[in-house]
Structure 1
Amino acid sequence: MSIIFDYKNVPEAQRGASVALGNFDGVHAGHRAVIDLAKQVSDARGVPLAALIFEPPPRRYFQPDSPPFRIMRPEQRREALKTIGVDIVYELPFNKELASMSPRAFVEQVLVKGLGLAHLAVGFDFRFGKGREGDTDTLRQLGEEFGFTVSVMDAVKADSEKISSTAIRTYLQEGQPEHAAHLLGHYWTADGVVEQGEQRGRTISFPTANLRIGNLIQPMFGVYAVWAKVEGDDVWRPGVANFGRTPTTGEREPLLEVHFFDFDQDIYGKHLDVAFVHFLRAEKKFDSFEALTTQIATDASDARERLGSAPQKELPAVIADFL
C-alpha cells in the first residue's frame, strides 16, 4: 500500500484512482461501506482503490484544545485500510490552505489536478469546502463538470442503530465497550509502549504492564476484561486492565494498567495492543490498600471467567449476544 502526503506531487502510478473520502476514524462498517462503493468502481475500471483522509482531522484543526477523540491512531488506521484492500492512502495535511478552499477550488485543485481521480465515493452526510458549504449534490455537479463520477453511501445501521464514529466514542466514554465493538465490527483497541510503573502490583502477585494511550479517546475510568498482544508475540493474551487515575494510591495522569493471566516476562519498552472486551466496574477509591487488593483479585477472577485463560492466535470475534 502506498501512502501519499502531498496532493501537489502525486506520482503518475498513484493517480487515476477510485477514491473513498472520509475521516475513517475506526474504519467501522459505515466507513467500509463507502470504501466498498469505491472498490466496485475500482474493480470495474481496473484502477487503484484509494482512501483520502485529512491529518490532523479538521475537528482537531478547528478545535485544537478539544479533548482527545481519536478512535484510532493514524498508524492503526493505515493498517486497517491495508487489511481491507486499499491500494493507496492519500493522507493530506489539513492546514490553512485547505481550510480556506471553496468547494469548487477543493475539487479542482486537490481532486482533479492533484489526484487525477476517476471516481469519488462519500457518505450521505459528507460536507466539504470553506464553511462546509459543499454537499453531495455539489460533488455530483462538479463531478459532471470535471469528468469524474460520484457515488454516495446511505446511512449504515446495526440493529436499527446508525453506525457512526460519534456513537462509538459515546459508548466508550460511557463504559460500554461491547456496544462500541458491535458498531465497529471489532473490539476497540488502545495501544502504547510499556513503561516503568510503581511496581505495587508485584507486591500482591498482580504485576501490570503500564502504558499511556496518548491522543486516543479516553474510555470510562474503570476495570475491563481485555485481550492484549505484546510486540513480537504471535498471540493475544487474556487479562484484566484498569484505566484511570488510581485514586486509592494517589491520583496521577490517566494510565492503562494491564495484568496478563499466567504470564511473567519483562516487556518494558515494548509496544502493546489492548482490546477492550467487557467493562467490569467503575474506578473507585478504596479505604485501604488491602481492600483494593481484594477487589483486584475479584476483578481478575471475573475477567478470567468471561475470557478464559488460553492465548489465541487471532483476536476473538465480537460477542454478539450482549444486548
Structure 2
Amino acid sequence: MKVYYNLSDFSPLANAVVTSGTFDGVHLGHQKILQILCESTAASGGESVVLTFWPHPRMVVSQDSQGLKLLSTIDEKIELLEQQGVNHLLIVPFTREFSELSSEEYVQNILLDTIGTKKLVIGYDHRFGRNREGGFEYLEAHANRFGLELEEIPRQEIDNLVISSTQIRESLQNGQIKAANELLGRPYTFSGIVVKGRQLGRTIGFPTANVQVAESYKLIPANGVYAVKALVRGQWLNGIMNIGNRPTVDGIGRTQEVYILDFSDDIYGENITVELVDYIRPERKFNGLDELKSQITKDKETGIQILCN
C-alpha cells in the first residue's frame, strides 16, 4: 500500500475506485466498506484509494474536541488499512481552510483533479464539503457532469457501522472488552514506551512494565484489571494489566502497568504493544501490600485461565 501525506504528493490515477472517511479503529463496519471497495476495484481492473483525514475533523472544528478519544492512532490506522488490501492511502491534512471547501470544490479539486476518481463507493449518509452540505443525493444528481460512477453502500451496513463505532467506545470505557473486541473483529490494542515507575511491584514479587502512551487522544479502557497479551521484542507473552490510580499505594495519576508472566528482562525504554483479552475485576484499594499481593496472585490465576482457554 502506498501512503501519501499531502494532496500534492498524489498523481491522478487512470482508474481510481475511491472511498473516504475517518476509519477510526478500522472495525467490522469499516472492513465491510473496504471489502466492497476492493471487490469493485477488482471488477473494474482499477486501483483502490482510501481518502482519510488527519487530524480527526472533530479535533479541528468541534468545540468539544478536548475530550475526544480515538480507537486508533494514525500509525495504527495505516497498518490496519494495509491489512485490508488497499492500494493507495491518501491522508489529507485536515485544517479549517480545508473544512471550508464547498461540495463542488471538494469533488472537483480532490476527487477528480487530485485522485482521478472514476468510481466512488459511498454510503447514503456520507457528508462532505463546507457545513457537510454535500452527500449521496448531490453526487447522484451531478454524477454525469462529474463523470463519476457511484456505488451506494446499503443503509443497513451504514447503520451497523454507526452503531458499532458508538458501542466500541462505550464498551471500552465500561470495561466490556469482549464486546469491543467482537465489534472490532480483533483485540483492542495500544502501544507505548516502558518507563520507570515507583517499582513497588518488584517488592511483592510482581514486577510490572509501566506503559506510557504518547498519544493523549488514544482511548485507554476503564480502570481495572485485565488479562492481556504483550508484544515484547517480537514475541507475544501472557500478562495481567492494571489500569488506574493504584489507590493501595497512594498512586498519583493514571497508569497502565503490565505484569508479564514468566518474564524478567529489563525492557525500560522499549516499545511494547498491549492486546486486551478480557476484563478481570475493577480496581480497588486494599489494606496494605500483603492483601494486594494475595489479590494479584488470584488475578494471575484468573488471567491464566482466560488466556489459556
TM over 0.5: yes
Contact 2:21–2:51 (8 Å) recurs in 1 = yes
* Counterpart secondary structure, 1:236: strand
Q: Can you give the 5+ residue segments of structure 2 that lack an aligned partner in the other structure? A: none
Partner SS for 2:117: coil
Please, which moves more after superposition, 37-46 or 164-173?
37-46
CA–CA separation in structure 1 for the residues paired with 2:283 and 2:145: 57
Give the TM-score normalised by the residue count of structure 2: 0.92
For 1:179 and 1:302, how far apart are their aligned partners in 2?
19
8 Å CA contact 2:10–2:90 kept in 1: the answer is no
Deviation readout 1:176-229 (Å, 9 max, x if unpaired): 010001111101111111111211111111111111233211211111001111
Equivalent residue number for residue 39 of structure 2: 40
1:157 Cα deviation after fit: 9.0
Task: Specify the code of the residue in structure 2 equivalent to 1:225.
Answer: A
Change (3 A) 1:61 1:284: same
TM (norm. structure 1) is: 0.88
State the one-letter code of the partner of 1:82.
E
Q: Which residue of 2 aligns with 1:216?
A: 218
- The answer to whether the 8 A contact 1:37-1:151 is kept is no
Deviations 1:96-153 (A, max 9, x none): 1211112121111111111111222133322111111222222323333211212222
SS in 2 for 1:276: strand
The CA RMSD over aligned residues, in Å, is 2.1
Judge conservation of contact 1:201–1:208 (CA < 8 Å) in 2: yes
Q: Which letter does structure 2 place at the counterpart of 1:33?
A: K
Quote how far apart the aligned CAs of 1:40 are. 1.9
1:90 aligns with 2:101: no
Offset of residue 21 of structure 1: 0.9
Partner residue, 1:236? 236
- Taking the aligned partners of 2:220 and 2:68, their CA distance within structure 1 comes to 7
Code of the aligned partner of 1:287: N
Q: Secondary structure at the match of 1:76?
A: helix
Q: Quick one: which amino acid aligns to residue 178 of structure 2?
A: E
The answer to whether residue 299 in structure 2 is matched with residue 278 in structure 1 is: no
User: Which stretch has the larger CA shift, 283-292 or 187-196?
Assistant: 283-292
Cα 1:284–1:68 change in 2 (3 A) is: farther
Contact persistence 1:212–1:254 (CA under 8 A) = no
**Code of the aligned partner of 1:229:** L
Match of 2:289 in 1: 289
Paired positions, count:
305
Instruction: Name which of structure 1's ranges 287-296 and 190-199 shifts more when overlaid on structure 2.
Output: 287-296
Taking the aligned partners of 1:6 and 1:15, their CA distance within structure 2 comes to 19
Q: 5+ residue gaps in structure 1?
A: 309-318
SS of the residue corresponding to residue 127 of structure 1 reads coil
Greater percentage in helix: 2
Distance in 2 (CA, whole Å) between partners of 1:289 and 1:33 is 49
Give the Cα separation in 1 of the matches to 2:292 and 2:230.
23
Q: In structure 2, do the counterparts of structure 1 residues 210 and 32 end up closer, same or farther at CA, with 3 Å as the change threshold?
A: same
